[in-house]
Structure 1
Amino acid sequence: MEERTYVVTGAASGIGAATADHLSAAGARVIRCDVRDADVIADLTAQDGRSHLVSQVEAVSGGRIDGLVAVAGIAAPSPLTVRLSFFGTIATLDGLRPLLLASDRPSGPGWAGSGIPLNAVAPGVVDTETAHRMFLDDPATREFVAAAMPQPLGFPGPVAAIASLLAWTAGPDNAFMTGQILYADGGAEATLRP
């Protein structure tokens, strides 16, 4: 089987880094994208950065990718969150879609009518550096978040489990699921909305 090429945004740390490592360990070629420590350095909060990511991935990949895992994002009450987590993600999906269409076996993001599955993973609170910095390291904030997001299977959740799921959704074994939100949140969704 020919080596698959993936793009992972947010690949310098946390879930993105773990997903890129998971894919690499499985024998894939991974183009890591982030604002630091990556193959493609790009700031997805700005239009210029989004355009730069697309042009650089096109150059590095040779014009074809087999999967995209868009992990870059933050969860802070700030306009930066919308610029990165929403507009940055949409621009990445739209900009890299032609490279996915160039593959004879695309997966990850896209549109079902084009034969490219698009799914999302909702990870809940996961044991990342960012989560620690934002709320896990402060005992009062940690207690508040744990009460608001009850995760009976573990709080915070394991990064490796999310990385494995993301890799599967973008991999060749997922040829029949699209348009889904997969809650890998330690049971938070099921607990809050029984």
Structure 2
Amino acid sequence: MTAASEGTTPRSYVVTGAGSGIGAATAALLRSRGHRVIGIDLRGSDIDADLSTGEGRRSVADAVRGAVGDTVDAVIAVAGVALPTSLTVRVNYFGAIATLEELLPLLRNSPAPRAVVVASFSALQQNDAELVDLLRAGDEDAAVARADELVGENQGDLIYPSTKRAIAEWVRERAVTPEWAASGIPLNAVGPGIILTPMTEPLLATAEGRDALMQVVPMPLAGPARPEAIAEVLAWLSDAPNAHITGQVVFIDGGADAVIRGPRVFD
């Protein structure tokens, strides 16, 4: 049943990382509800763009305008990589922020604009404080250099959680500023735990592999999630009824956050 057949107004969405995983599941879900979705990915989507480069980021707004005009109802920034290299810095942090900022003028033309970013449960895990600070300062060259240093020090595994911590903090900081809150735009993030993907499924196929992953990200409720489960939350956060939730990181982690951090997070 489509959104139109249910009597609701179809909305226009931009979804980055729409070629696979959570992005593809989100685009498919929104389209199944009758919405217009402009997918962005490196290749094979509605708009091909490399969000690791300044040129690719700058091309997004014009390409979206060419597809849907001057109004976008929601932006869902999913695109990301989990490589232990500086590419992760360019895509996960600077690519995501550029997408949101470039499309902000189009969001402001919507009667019910919404924006959501995919962070990660790893935002709560060990990171490199220096890299996080450089990301928050917006110094891409220095952040890339620091990531390259981490690789050289055999600490490349800290790059991904550092980018996800920084983007989660960016969302919380920016969500309550005039450019977002005063414009009536809820800005939120989701923090998935382990997702069933072609990369993780071989690890989960054995008891040993599953136990090892569960030690890092314990998920007592239902275990690892399929991309479609994340898509459902992204769809709700970016829909018109969400008019007051902003600046939040919603962990879709089967309880991992509660297991690791416990109940006393409000002290």
Do these two structures clear the TM 0.5 threshold for a shared fold by scoring above it? yes
Partner of 2:241: 173
| Larger-gyration structure (1/2) | 2
Q: Which amino acid aligns with 2:195?
A: V
Residue segments in structure 1 that go unaligned for 5+ positions in a row = none
Q: 2:49 is matched with which residue: 30, 42, 46?
A: 42
Partner of 1:160: 228
Counterpart of 1:129 in 2: which secondary structure?
A: coil
**Cα distance in 2 for residues equivalent to 1:36 and 1:119:** 27
By relative contact order (CA 8 Å, sep 6+), the higher-ranking structure is 1
Q: 2:17 is matched with which residue: 2, 10, 20?
A: 10
Counterpart of 1:68 in 2: which secondary structure?
A: strand
Partner of 1:128: 197
- Which TM-score applies when normalising by structure 1? 0.92
**Moved beyond 4 Å, runs of 4+:** 135-142
- Which TM-score applies when normalising by structure 2? 0.68
Q: 1:5 to 1:119 in 2, by over 3 A?
A: same
- CA deviation string 1:107-156 (max 9, x = no partner): 125611210000000011111234447x5578765543221111111332
Question: What is the alpha-carbon root mean square deviation over aligned residues?
Answer: 1.9
Contact 1:8 1:70 in 2 (8 A): yes
Q: Which amino acid aligns with 2:182?
A: G
**Cα distance in 2 for residues equivalent to 1:53 and 1:138:** 42
**Cα distance in 2 for residues equivalent to 1:162 and 1:182:** 10
Partner of 1:117: 186
Residue segments in structure 2 that go unaligned for 5+ positions in a row = 1-7, 117-174, 263-267
Q: Which amino acid aligns with 2:21?
A: G
Q: Which amino acid aligns with 1:124?
A: G
Identity %: 46
Q: 1:36 to 1:136 in 2, by over 3 A?
A: farther
**Cα distance in 2 for residues equivalent to 1:77 and 1:140:** 24
Mean alpha-carbon deviation: is it higher for 110-119 or for 137-146?
Answer: 137-146
**Cα distance in 2 for residues equivalent to 1:141 and 1:76:** 20
Contact 1:125 1:185 in 2 (8 A): yes
How far apart are 1:14 and its partner, in Å? Answer: 0.5
Counterpart of 1:23 in 2: which secondary structure?
A: helix
- 1:28 matched to 2:35? The reply is yes
Partner of 1:63: 70
